[in-house]
Structure 1
């Protein structure tokens, strides 16, 4: 998959463990940070205290306003970032801040509305539609657990 290749290639180009910044306001961000933690220096920026409390010890956490430059300061030496916020407008703003203010080369933006993909395509390195991923995964699980829904 192209999205995975771009992020994996960016992280592989770093000397030592790569630094991945995850900006999220939900448990999806903490799960993503946990998934990358063994192989990368992971930093989570969130405004969701509950999500921040569910991380392995190796993940650095900053809790605050995710649109604030002070809160996003963890991006200064990051190799890549993933922005996964509940509100697409906020995700676009944070993606733009990371690319322009912090000069971050690789930013993956996770959006909820697939129709907003074009609006973010010029800002983010990669745009992923969370709604599409969720629907695909749910369909796969339903087909696997309920034989009546198996494809013909």
Structure 2
């Protein structure tokens, strides 16, 4: 059984993660992860069938930092705002060091002078590790529900 303090820390991790992305604080995003980590964005069909093909696949904090550099310096795109709505995390396993966690998410996108739209929905399939600095993601797999996605996903989900 998960104690209140641990669950409270987990809720804080999820809330802070969403806030950093919603506020465009890209440099802070990699700090939610261990140095050796996995971040993937892939369709539900591929995840359910065990297919490795992902829309985005990053395998270390260094690769996450490269993605941030790309967002800031090299990618040309129409800027937009994101707003994450994340469901309560559901802890599936806890071995004392790592937790297996899932949470539903919806990301809304708003371009300047346009109406907000549902941008991406799905679930996070996470492995969260306890560290001296607090909880960090060892793995975050964003499994999106629809096979149809906008022609580009710039910002992290």
Q: TM-score range by the shorter chain?
A: under 0.3
TM-score by length of 1: 0.24
TM-score by length of 2: 0.23
More helix by share: 1
Q: Which has the higher contact order (CA 8 A, sep 6+)?
A: 2
